[in-house]
Amino acid sequence: MVPLFRWYTRRVSGGRTALIGLSVGELEELLARLGEPAYRGRQIAEWIYGKAVDSFEEMKNLPASLRAKLAESYTVSPLVVSDHRTSTDDVDKLLVHNGDGEVYECVLLPYKDRVSCCISSQVGCPMGCTFCATGMGGFDRNLTAGEIVAQYLLLQKISKKRVSHVVFMGMGEPLLNAKNVVKALHILHDEIGLSWRHLTVSTVGIVPQIENLTELGLPFNLALSLHSPFDEVRSKLMPVNQKWPVDVVMGAMKKHHRKTGRKITIEYLLINEFSDTIEQAKALASLVSGTPSVVNLIPFNYVDTTYGYSRPSPERVRAFRNVLEARGVNVTERVERGHDIAAACGQLAGEHHGRFARRDGLSELPVSS
Hey, which residues are catalytic here?
Answer: 105, 345
* Sign of the CA dihedral with 151 first, then 343, 323, and 232 last: negative
Strand-pair partners of 201 = 168, 222
A 10 A CB-CB count for 363 gives 7
Pick from 192, 208, 296: nearest CA to 255: 208
Characterise 290 by phi-psi region: left (phi > 0), alpha (psi -120 to 50), beta (else): left
Roughly what angle, to the nearest 10 degrees, separates helices 207-216 and 178-186?
A: 30
- Could you give the 3-state DSSP secondary structure of residue 186? helix
Task: Tell me how far CA of residue 87 lies from CA of 109, 152, 228, 343, in angstroms.
Answer: 10, 19, 31, 9
Residue 44, classed as helix, strand or coil, is helix
Q: Where are the alpha helices (DSSP H) in the chain?
A: 24-33, 39-45, 51, 64-73, 133-137, 145-158, 178-186, 207-216, 231-237, 246-260, 278-288, 314-326, 347-351
Which residues are paired to 295 by β-bridges?
Answer: 266, 331
How far is 146 from 16, CA to CA, in rounded Å? 14
The backbone region for 6, taken as left when phi is positive above 0, alpha when psi lies in -120 to 50, beta otherwise, is alpha
Q: Give the C-alpha separation, 178 to 172, whole Å.
A: 11
